[in-house]
Amino acid sequence: MRILVIEDNRDILANILDYLQLKGFAVDCAQDGLSGLHLASTGHYDLIVLDIMLPGIDGYQVCKRLREDGHNEVPILMLTARDALDDRLQGLNVGADDYLIKPFALSELVARIEAILRRSQGSRKRQLKVADLLYDLDTLHVSRAGQPLKLNPIGLKLLAVLMQKSPAVIRREALEEALWGDDSPDSDSLRSHIHQLRQVLDKPFPSPLLHTLHGVGYRLAEHTNGV
């Protein structure tokens, strides 16, 4: 399970990161609202732990933008030092799934996270998201910037692997094994399917998502950091 923690207090953030990693979660973090919003919008997370009092934009705005602008359904657990009912209701009204009042025990944080994940796994659509690219694994519907994309079965399988591992680089051998197992066809087959996927995925749009690292493999990401 991959979790994004958006918290500006360095000590609290360090404690949360250490404890969640100890419990087996993969964790990314941000220390301000805008950075957290960017990570949440471009990455694939199973849950977001979101503090309310953040520099830049506060947690309410981050949650509201994810829900209304990005149509992001990832579960959100809000952290708040405010115990007033109106503050808690505001978080729920903008789309948070639960809240936890500071100070809290780290064991309670994990218990809340696990409870939210159990609930969400039964009701949430299985959907992959990278930048403006969406892939509903239940309906096999793929769209980018709201525009439906048509892919053949191999293209769909290839896209799922790339999106699930985004923004990591996936080696050619790993992609070939994921697509064909031990019965890989000739060496040009993967290149051909990558070309077809790129034609559908990137050609009609201003910014590419599918990137080739020559001699290594492929990566699906909004930014390549110059690689």
What are 82-92's pLDDT values in tens digits?
665 666 677 77
- pLDDT of residue 95 exceeding 90, the answer is no
φ, ψ for residue 144, nearest 5 deg: -135, 130
Per DSSP, which regions of the chain are E strands?
A: 2-6, 26-30, 47-51, 76-80, 98-101, 127-130, 133-136, 141-144, 147-149, 169-171, 210-213, 217-220
Which tops the pLDDT comparison, 178 or 3?
3
Cβ pair 57, 33 in contact under 8 A = yes
Give domain 127-220's CATH number out of 3.40.50.2300, 1.10.3720.10, 1.10.10.10, 3.30.565.10: 1.10.10.10
What are 166-224's pLDDT values in tens digits?
888 999 988 988 888 877 776 688 999 999 999 999 999 999 999 999 989 999 998 75
188's tokens: 């040009």
- pLDDT of residue 227 exceeding 50, the answer is no
77's tokens: 């657990």
* Residue 226 pLDDT: 47
Rg (Cα) of the chain, in Å, rounded?
Answer: 19
Topology of domain 2-123, CATH = Rossmann fold (3.40.50)
Span 2-25, average pLDDT = 94
Q: How far apart are the first and last CA of the chain?
A: 27
Q: Which amino acid is at 3?
A: I
Cβ pair 54, 33 in contact under 8 A = yes
**Rounded distance between C-alpha atoms, residue 86 and residue 90, angstroms:** 6
What is the domain partition of the chain in residue ranges? 2-123, 127-220
Closest CA to 167 of 120, 211, 206, 199: 211
Same fold? 2-123, 127-220: no
Peptide bond between residue 208 and the one before it cis (omega within 30 degrees of 0): no
